[in-house]
Structure 1
Amino acid sequence: MMYDTIGRGEHEWAGMTANEVRTLGSKPGSILIIPVGSIEQHGNHLPVVTDSLLVEAMVDAAVERLSDVPVVVSPTVWSGFSPHHLTFGGTLSLEFENLRSILEDIANTGLENGFDAVLFVNGHGGNGPLIGSVVSTVGVDTDAEILGTTYFELASDRIAALRDSETGGMAHGGEFETSLMLAVRPDLVGDPAEREGEPLDEQYRWAGQDLLDGGAVGVYRSFDAYSESGAIGVPEAASREKGERIRSIIAEELASLLSAVHEHNAQRLPNDY
């Protein structure tokens, strides 16, 4: 995402030549990874780039664990669907249909380089339903395998075992995201006095309670209905050590998913397409 830090690594689309992209795309079981984040307020202690930065960091950590898996990571799609954050300012949001079209176009043009699979890795809760729809709209028109996941929903049971807050404390800008940011970019985290949030208090018990509990019922609310600062959860419970452990767990699970996708698609016969 930060183009002045792009390297010439074998997995980073933006730092590769066109021939290098096509060469990896042509390998059996190749995967194009598309990280999707957002630019939105995260209270008084986290930067607006939090979701985009963290999804990129989680993908990088997973790819580092892979060996002999042909993957290419596209530049992070940094703007998401975030109308529920607009009242706090600092948020850049795309319309639902616009973002869906952008993701479809990235996937479809990326597939022209021969990839056998596309994996959208989402880092913002508000993008979840949209990612699900793109998996279908792209998937119906291609023989490649199209998948989508939200990184903080991977290994939620293992991550829950690390928490110090009760349910509701690992919501937007809370214990989970603040811990990860302390591990990934501590220089962008406000000092402890600024780490103020309110535990999520959703009216319906069937609805999502925090990032690890998405709930069975969706409901739209502007975030100012939940919090005065814009942060929801208990950021005071965050720590760098906890963030490192969470990152390791997510990287392990995402790497396992990527390996499984690679193995499945590498074994598909031509007449399976």
Structure 2
Amino acid sequence: MASVGVVVAAGGAVGAARKASSYHSPSLTRSGTLILRAAGNHHEGEDYVTRSFRLAELTREKVRELAPHSTVIVATSSTEQHGPHLPINTDAAIVDAIISRAAERAAQQISVLVAPPLHFGFSPQHLFACALTLRSTTFYQVIWDIGSSLASAGFRRIFLLNSHGGNDECDRLLTKDLVIHHDVTVAACSYWTIADAALKEIGARDLGIIPGHAGGFETALMMAIAPELVDYDLLPATSPDPGPISSRGVFPGLAIQKHDEWKRVGGYSDAPTKATAEKGKLILATIADVVADAVIAFHRSFV
């Protein structure tokens, strides 16, 4: 467990932590703190707590200590309408859930930290209903500044994980720009792209378009992550016909956008009639495993 970080004690159990000969599997709390439970005799209040995964919860001294040897994960997402039935924080909730699970698993093998997420993205196509959007140039400058700040703090490995289609090109462009100006290695991906093969294997396409927008795929994820935020009474029963042009596959490899297209289709890509929480849990676990593997591979490839 040495790669997880320095072990400190909760509840004044420093000595006990040092004496414990073995530990059960770690678990991650909602705040992002890794808990190690001692095997054998264990008393309430005597959990042994490592550093937080959350970069924002560390002191500047701890950041400086960990940065050169850690991979830092930066989430990019959005705050925008997701049909009549999903909350506007859908993209943010999904990527946060993925990263929490992926970081917990990756941290058993490497040193990984999670930066404060960016929940504002490039979403002008959803302003017809509700979106807190940045211009593409503004969004790019924001992630540029975040990346530059992380480099200045001593990080040499930066991993961007995206959950909103409008951000994808900017994230990928940043990987090329940032390495010219800073001594860093940068990776970027959208979760559905990196997990595409694994999602096909579990039959996720049966739900609808991947990732779609407020369709069966995202609805299943939200049923698993935050069912209390899903308005089940307003689930669309039919898919737009025709569907959004960006999802129709007009010609292989061709990117197409059309004015007011998301307004025309009602703000969702396909009907979530097959979405269930059980399917969402399987999808979430599958994506998190792939992301963890990707982060570990990226970390170990750095020289």
Q: TM-score, structure 1 length as denominator?
A: 0.85
Deviates more, 1:165-174 or 1:91-100: 165-174
1:51 aligns with 91
Inter-partner Cα distance in structure 1 for 2:269 and 2:226: 20
Inter-partner Cα distance in structure 2 for 1:34 and 1:164: 27
Unaligned runs of 5+ residues in structure 1 are: 269-273
Compared with structure 1, are the counterparts of its residues 217 and 201 closer, same or farther at alpha carbon in structure 2 (3 Å cutoff)? farther
Deviation per residue, 1:68-114 (Å, 9 max, x gap): 311111111010000111112x2110011111011011111111222
Task: After TM superposition, give the deviation of residue 163 of structure 1 in Å.
Answer: 3.3
Compared with structure 1, are the counterparts of its residues 236 and 43 closer, same or farther at alpha carbon in structure 2 (3 Å cutoff)? same
Match among 265, 289, 294 for residue 252 of structure 1: 289
Inter-partner Cα distance in structure 1 for 2:84 and 2:98: 23
Asked if 1:227 corresponds to 2:265, the answer is yes
1:73 aligns with 114
Structure 2 counterpart of 1:77, which letter? L
1:218 aligns with 255
Alignment of 1:162-181 (within 5 A): 162-163=203-204, 165=206, 168=209, 171-181=212-222
Task: After TM superposition, give the deviation of residue 10 of structure 1 in Å.
Answer: 2.4
Secondary structure of 1:26 counterpart: helix
Task: After TM superposition, give the deviation of residue 128 of structure 1 in Å.
Answer: 0.9
Deviation per residue, 1:209-268 (Å, 9 max, x gap): 49xxx961111223435512x111121211111111111111111001111111111xx2
2:278 aligns with 241
The 8 Å contact of residues 239 and 271 in structure 2, kept in 1 or not, is answered as yes
Secondary structure of 1:87 counterpart: coil
Greater C-alpha radius of gyration: 2
Asked if 1:113 corresponds to 2:153, the answer is yes
Unaligned runs of 5+ residues in structure 2 are: 1-29, 34-50
The 8 Å contact of residues 31 and 117 in structure 1, kept in 2 or not, is answered as yes
Match among 234, 257, 262 for residue 194 of structure 1: 234
Percent same amino acid at aligned positions? 28
Inter-partner Cα distance in structure 1 for 2:140 and 2:248: 26
Task: After TM superposition, give the deviation of residue 12 of structure 1 in Å.
Answer: 0.4
Compared with structure 1, are the counterparts of its residues 44 and 142 closer, same or farther at alpha carbon in structure 2 (3 Å cutoff)? same
Inter-partner Cα distance in structure 2 for 1:264 and 1:225: 44
Deviation per residue, 1:138-176 (Å, 9 max, x gap): 122122111100012122233234236475475100111
